[in-house]
Amino acid sequence: MTYTLLHNPRCSKSRAALELLQTRGVDVEVVRYLDTPLDADALRTILRRLDIAPRALLRTGEAVYRELGLNNEALDDGAIVDAMVRHPELIERPILVRGERAVIGRPTERLLHLLD
């Protein structure tokens, strides 16, 4: 079964995740999601695999989070997903996907939950 890493090479945690996987000899497909943004269906699939609500995947420290008023609890899941599709920098990273499961690599050691 293949592994996919949603990766931002400018992020130290994401780089650490890729290094951990490479050190362990894991064959991983790297998706630079800022260069190749996810569409809404792909993002919903990842959320389902993570078993979390869209709001839990938001990077709340990003300027665009405040600019878009995403702290508004009245926003529904669809609005949150749409914001992440339009602004992929809002998506927490790194995310490792394997089959029907996924994990956010914060801390990096959480990735080990998906390894054989």
Residues designated catalytic: 11
Residue 32, strand partner residues? 7
User: Are the C-beta atoms of residues 108 and 12 closer than 8 Å to each other?
Assistant: no
Neighbours of 50 (CB within 10 A): 17
